[in-house]
């Protein structure tokens, strides 16, 4: 199934129509299996969709989860998942205009896992059951603040307003031909800057859910940004950063695309 958020209401989407679940996203995600659908469907515009979870309580993100990106960043593949947060105030919808802060703003396409009922110490074998669905995300990052100190700090530099665009819809894992192997691309203007498949992750989604929930109880609507492949701007020769007026398009097979313009 496909879900979205319109005016803060969680809606089921089918054939260009939306059905209001009567719930806010966090309440709906806690009981996705038992949502009623007695209300009449209504037409909607894709451009009206907000972030599938506009106000998540926890946002986890994973650094260096693809070998070529770890290599371009100058690191060996990590032995354990490197987890940081994007503070929830950075989360925004799929088609937001983002104000660029001074510095070196950069892109990172990511597949984002959205937690359903959640739980503590979820075994890897049950981890997909804890995932309500997948959505498209950008882990926008300001590299100067990120790399100014030693060691670098990720969370703050990745949490400016608008630095966590997500959407346009949440797709349940059963909708994918192979939920562990999903292709994605990122274009800056017309140029393909990143592409990958989720099967290339060092720590796949079930492993991330197990490792994170071993420490932090996962709550309905929590987001996991699962890492980016090679091709980010600060590792290009010469480096390339986001500029006002540019358009960044991130597309995930089976979900759709999000699009940011910058000012």
> Which residues would be at the binding site for Zn ion (CB under 5 A)?
108, 139, 228
Cα-flanking dihedrals φ and ψ of residue 125, to 5°? -65, -20
| Choice between 139 and 257, CB closer to Zn ion | 139
| Choice between 21 and 250, CB closer to Zn ion | 250
| Choice between 9 and 195, CB closer to Zn ion | 195
Least distance CB 1 / Zn ion (angstroms): 27
Give CA–CA dist 227/106, Å, rounded.
14
Whether the Cβ atoms of residue 239 and residue 104 lie closer than 8 Å to each other: yes
| Choice between 36 and 161, CB closer to Zn ion | 161
| Choice between 139 and 142, CB closer to Zn ion | 139
> Which residue's structure tokens are 């037409």?
43
Strands in the chain per DSSP E: 2-6, 9-14, 17-20, 42-43, 59-63, 82-85, 91-92, 97-98, 105-106, 109-115, 131-138, 141-142, 164-171, 183-188, 191-197, 223-225, 247-252, 256-262
Least distance CB 61 / Zn ion (angstroms): 5
Least distance CB 25 / Zn ion (angstroms): 23
As to burial, measured by CB atoms within 10 angstroms (0-12 exposed, 13-18 middle, 19+ buried), residue 40 is: exposed
Least distance CB 225 / Zn ion (angstroms): 6
Least distance CB 228 / Zn ion (angstroms): 5
């Amino acid at each position: 199934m496909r879900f979205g958020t319109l005016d803060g209401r969680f809606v089921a989407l089918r054939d260009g129509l939306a059905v209001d679940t009567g719930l806010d996203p966090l309440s709906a995600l806690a009981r996705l299996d038992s949502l009623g659908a007695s209300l009449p469907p209504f037409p909607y515009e894709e451009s009206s969709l907000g972030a599938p979870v506009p106000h998540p309580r926890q946002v986890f993100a994973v650094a260096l989860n693809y070998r070529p990106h770890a290599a371009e960043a100058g690191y060996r593949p990590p032995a354990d998942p490197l987890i940081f947060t994007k503070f929830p105030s950075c989360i925004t919808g799929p088609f937001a205009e983002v104000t660029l802060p001074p510095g070196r703003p950069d892109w990172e396409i990511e597949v984002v896992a959205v937690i359903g009922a959640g739980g503590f110490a979820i075994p890897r074998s049950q981890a997909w059951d804890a995932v309500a669905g997948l959505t498209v995300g950008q882990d926008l990052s300001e590299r100067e603040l990120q790399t100014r100190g030693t060691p670098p700090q990720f969370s703050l530099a990745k949490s400016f307003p608008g630095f966590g665009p997500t959407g346009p819809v949440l797709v349940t894992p059963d909708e994918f031909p192979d939920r562990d192997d999903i292709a994605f691309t990122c274009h800056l203007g017309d140029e393909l800057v990143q592409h990958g498949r989720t099967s290339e992750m060092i720590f796949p989604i079930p492993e991330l859910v197990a490792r994170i929930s071993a420490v932090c109880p996962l709550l309905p609507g929590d987001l996991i940004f699962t890492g980016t492949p090679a091709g980010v701007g600060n590792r290009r020769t010469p480096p390339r950063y986001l500029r006002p007026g540019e358009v960044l398009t991130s597309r995930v097979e089976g979900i759709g695309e999000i699009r940011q313009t910058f000012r």
